[in-house]
Amino acid sequence: MNFVEELKWRGMIHDFMPGTGEQLQKEMTTAYVGIDPTADSLHIGHLVSIMMLKHLQRAGHKPIALVGGATGMIGDPSGKSEERNLLSEEELRHNEQSIKRQLLKFLDFDAGPNSAEIVNNYDWISGFSFLGFLREVGKHLTVSYMIAKDSVKNRLETGLSFTEFTYQLVQAYDYLYLYRNKNCKLQMGGSDQWGNITTGAELIRRKTGGEVYALTCPLITKADGTKFGKTERGNVWLDSRYTSPYHFYQFWLNCSDEDTERYIKIFTLFSKEEIDALIAEHKEAPHRRALQKALAEDITIRVHGKEAYDTVVEASGILFGQSTAEALHKLPEDVFLAVFDGVPLFEVGHGEVEQGIEMVDFLSEKTQVAKSKGEARRMLKEGSISINKTRVSDTDKVDANQLIAGRYLVVQRGKKNHYLVRVKSG
């Protein structure tokens, strides 16, 4: 199966320029996607582009990940309703290094002629003089052409700085640069990048007469219409400092049936047959959630490794399974701590627990499970708080008898929110 067919059945094609498929059939082709280093970690939204590169490489072509050290200093207006803040050069350099490290997990950088590469457009844009840019790039595209782009058109009313207006030219130049220096003939990206990519193709055609191509994938959506990749905690990051492996795994495990059927095609490398089998299996016994588990397993292992995955599955079993207070008490301390790694932790004084703490105070003042006493009371009234797997009410107290391993309490709010409370000695 060739690259375009592969992406097609996976639902990863939104649009491509005529001739794209033919080019890929003709010869080993170099293609790139751009990633703006706006943070020092990728999040799962970036994963789609990365998977496109992965499939490209598997099809025998050469992937380039372009870290936008220069473009990140400008800000892409595509899909943005407001002018962006500029990042400092120092921040960008740091972000870029971190992102590079993450990319190493996904692409093969030692695959002979089609080894993956990482480039940074800062390297060729930063030295460009303003006059040089105007003569080299600006001269070849008209304002009317630039204004016709949706990314610009949508912002003309609300406001768009000259800087953001110029963004598409900078990105276009990247494409030209890679075409000339790396023989790169395909640029890929999310569907919001279509305008920027075609500007690049146009620039290349006018300056060199060369023919290059574009391929975009649809924006990932959720069936309920909310934004993909966000939880109440914010973005789902690949870096465990921002999203613990536990939450990362839980994110995928909690996807709805409908979404998972689409996601598993996009975010895993399972074959069509394997995925069809999983979907059939899931339809057979939906409550087992074979599909979500397969997706979560595959992607968690690739991002965080097998060991982290095993721990996280064990943790999930304990946190959501039928386990009881006794089961918690029986866990060896090291397993216990591994299970609760990444779960919010609060500390209370030993003396306070000895004396017993009113439940409302415990939830709101001693810990931040509830934002206020009022909220703590409401939660207790609603019956949503459990301690060590046992539901509690506002008349209960927290005392030393409940401690696990002599110094821990497991607090649960609703089904999904867990907190660990540790008793400070002294």
Residue 109: both structure tokens together: 């950088």
How far apart, in whole angstroms, are the C-alpha atoms of residue 270 and residue 301? Answer: 14
Catalytic site includes residue 230: yes
Asked whether 186 and 213 are in contact (CB, 8 A), the reply is: yes
Q: Which listed residue (54, 58, 84, 302) is catalytic?
A: 84
The 10 Å CB-count burial string (b at 16+, else e) for 214-232 is: bbbbeebebeeeeeebeee
Residue 242: both structure tokens together: 């921002």
User: Pairing state of beta strands 234-235 and 345-349?
Assistant: unpaired
The residues that touch RNA, with contacts defined as CB under 7 A, are: 223-224, 226, 232, 250, 253-257, 286-287, 289, 292, 316-317, 319-320, 364, 371-375, 377-379, 382-384, 413-417
Catalytic site includes residue 84: yes
Q: How far is the CB of 416 from RNA (least distance, A)?
A: 5
Choose between 129 and 395: whose C-beta lies nearer to RNA.
Answer: 395
Q: How far is the CB of 392 from RNA (least distance, A)?
A: 12
Q: Is 75 left (phi over 0), alpha (psi -120 to 50) or beta?
A: left
Residue 190: both structure tokens together: 């999310």
Q: How far is the CB of 261 from RNA (least distance, A)?
A: 11
Catalytic site includes residue 43: yes
Q: How far is the CB of 75 from RNA (least distance, A)?
A: 22
Asked whether 362 and 370 are in contact (CB, 8 A), the reply is: no
The dihedrals phi and psi of 80, each to the nearest 5 degrees, come to -110, 140
Asked whether 186 and 212 are in contact (CB, 8 A), the reply is: yes
Q: What's the number of CA atoms in the CB half-sphere (13 Å) around residue 388?
A: 20
Q: Which listed residue (97, 231, 355, 368) is catalytic?
A: 231
How far apart, in whole angstroms, are the C-alpha atoms of residue 339 and residue 335? Answer: 6
Q: How far is the CB of 381 from RNA (least distance, A)?
A: 7
Q: Which listed residue (14, 15, 38, 396) is catalytic?
A: 38
* 3-state SS assignment for residue 114: helix
Q: Which listed residue (15, 108, 192, 361) is catalytic?
A: 192
Q: Which listed residue (222, 230, 373, 407) is catalytic?
A: 230
Catalytic site includes residue 416: no
Q: Which listed residue (10, 29, 46, 198) is catalytic?
A: 46
Q: Which listed residue (153, 227, 306, 378) is catalytic?
A: 227
The dihedrals phi and psi of 394, each to the nearest 5 degrees, come to -70, -10
User: Pairing state of beta strands 230-231 and 234-235?
Assistant: antiparallel
Q: How far is the CB of 285 from RNA (least distance, A)?
A: 9
Q: How far is the CB of 219 from RNA (least distance, A)?
A: 20
Catalytic site includes residue 231: yes
Asked whether 217 and 191 are in contact (CB, 8 A), the reply is: yes
Q: Is 289 exposed, middle or buried (0-12, 13-18, 19+ CB in 10 A)?
A: middle
Choose between 167 and 249: whose C-beta lies nearer to RNA.
Answer: 249
Q: How far is the CB of 16 from RNA (least distance, A)?
A: 32
Choose between 90 and 232: whose C-beta lies nearer to RNA.
Answer: 232
Catalytic site includes residue 424: no
Q: Which of 174, 158, 187 is nearest to 80 (CA)?
A: 158
How far apart, in whole angstroms, are the C-alpha atoms of residue 129 and residue 125? Answer: 9
Choose between 126 and 372: whose C-beta lies nearer to RNA.
Answer: 372
Kindly report the three-state secondary structure assignment for every residue of 287-313. HHCHHHHHHHHHHHHHHHCHHHHHHHH
The residues assigned a catalytic role are 38, 43, 46, 80, 84, 171, 192, 227, 230-231
